[in-house]
Structure 1
């Protein structure tokens, strides 16, 4: 009879992997509260909230946060509408070219971000569109749509079609069936997909670099800070904020879909 307990070596490997992934994050959090303004003075000299007030009094930080929140919100809204419509069109019907359309929907999240960024930049230039808020939103929406689509179509496949048929048989029209039968069943999947799309949009940097022009989202602000060692404490505070803003929606999406289908797209 085999023991269900993991071996000591396996436990050590698991804890070692977790430490490898999370110790760098913990260091950023730790030094966000360090009293010293040096880059990394180990051990930390004390505890302070000074750098938080410094960070949130800077106009460039606040403008970058505002832009990132604006882009993430608009991209998520577009993704929830287009992703849901695409999932509804594809989940049951069979037609010529269905597999090709499904592949094109998934492709933006499968391609390396640099390829997507170059392709979008070339398209915008050929159309005479200047990089700015609009181009960033379009760039982010390309992969946010995939996230929402995958979550919604997974939920639709688990929803009994007999419920929809019963609603129609009882005299409900298409809108009533969607409002009272389909939408309540899609609620948690839509919310999870939207939360995950928001998190991914908020911290996206590769596609944003090609589509932002002179605009500066929070991840681009962080990238620019690497050449300014004197601002390391402020940079640590902002990096911690980005981690929190992205971590909380992802955890929420995980708990919303736990026990059902997986959170589609979380691998990005």
Structure 2
């Protein structure tokens, strides 16, 4: 389909406006992380690296960073195992209620975070009688990280078909051998991309974390929220926000590159 010059100009202008609306606020945060001002002011009166030095010496921020990495790593691992098993079951086997199960697996990512957080908080505290802790946060994050892995893996399984696995079974390979030598190598890049996206999703989650974290659990997004309006903490918060954006962008970029490379190969 060919567009006229006017149509291309309008679409280009709208694209620039949308991207500016998304990324200009991030640019302001980045610039303010070097500002000499101790408040969120614009334009910056001057520039300094003092806040970056303070941020990397802040024990609270560093502890929150470690906690976020731990939660995201374990949640991603759980999501990889369960998401892969669920996708294999739903794609490779037919049974009553399969479509309903598929809907229930995908639903957590579509629900508002506050609804998920309230539901999990009630489940942990009133139904299960479990004290909120880092483990409840991991379980909560895994519920929506599973969806990311599930979507990646089941999409790959649909493209692969079963012919190679059937040939492996005909040659006498068992279920585990076929999975280890045939299925898993073909799913490896999808698992890697799904895991990276799940890690990024868990790392910067704040709403569900707020409802499922115990009193002593402080992730990096929660630390930012707690310190945003404290005196003289705004520049340090800007630095941590920039770090959070970078950490979130890297796995998403790698996952996108993997998906793009696979399309070229195919």
Structure 1 segments of 4+ aligned residues over 4 angstroms from their partners = 1-6
CA contact (8 A) 1:35 1:45 kept: yes
Task: Give unpaired runs (5+ residues) of structure 1.
Answer: 262-268
Question: 3-state DSSP class of the match of 1:183?
Answer: helix
Task: Give unpaired runs (5+ residues) of structure 2.
Answer: none
Task: Measure the CA separation in 1 of the matches of 2:137 and 2:153.
Answer: 24
Task: Measure the CA separation in 1 of the matches of 2:79 and 2:44.
Answer: 45
CA contact (8 A) 1:132 1:213 kept: yes
CA contact (8 A) 1:87 1:152 kept: yes
Deviation at 1:218, TM superposition (A): 0.7
CA contact (8 A) 1:75 1:141 kept: yes
**Change in 2 beyond 3 A, CA 1:91/1:253:** same
CA contact (8 A) 1:39 1:229 kept: no
Question: 2:32 is matched with which residue?
Answer: 31
Q: Across the two proteins, how many residue pairs are aligned to each other?
A: 260
Match of 2:236 among 212, 230, 234: 234
Question: 3-state DSSP class of the match of 2:233?
Answer: helix
Higher fraction of helix = 2
How do residues 41-190 of structure 1 correspond to structure 2 at under 5 angstroms? 41-46=42-47, 48-126=48-126, 127-190=128-191
Deviation at 1:42, TM superposition (A): 1.4
Deviation at 1:234, TM superposition (A): 0.3
Q: Deviations over 1:91-112 (max 9, x none)?
A: 1322111111111111111111
**Change in 2 beyond 3 A, CA 1:247/1:81:** same
Task: Measure the CA separation in 2 of the matches of 1:8 and 1:41.
Answer: 32
CA contact (8 A) 2:35 2:44 kept: no
Deviation at 1:160, TM superposition (A): 3.0
Alignment root-mean-square deviation, CA: 1.7
Deviation at 1:41, TM superposition (A): 4.5
Task: Measure the CA separation in 1 of the matches of 2:92 and 2:184.
Answer: 17
TM-score, structure 1 length as denominator? Answer: 0.92
**Change in 2 beyond 3 A, CA 1:65/1:45:** same
CA contact (8 A) 1:120 1:211 kept: yes
**Change in 2 beyond 3 A, CA 1:61/1:96:** same
Task: Measure the CA separation in 1 of the matches of 2:2 and 2:246.
Answer: 41
TM-score, structure 2 length as denominator? Answer: 0.93
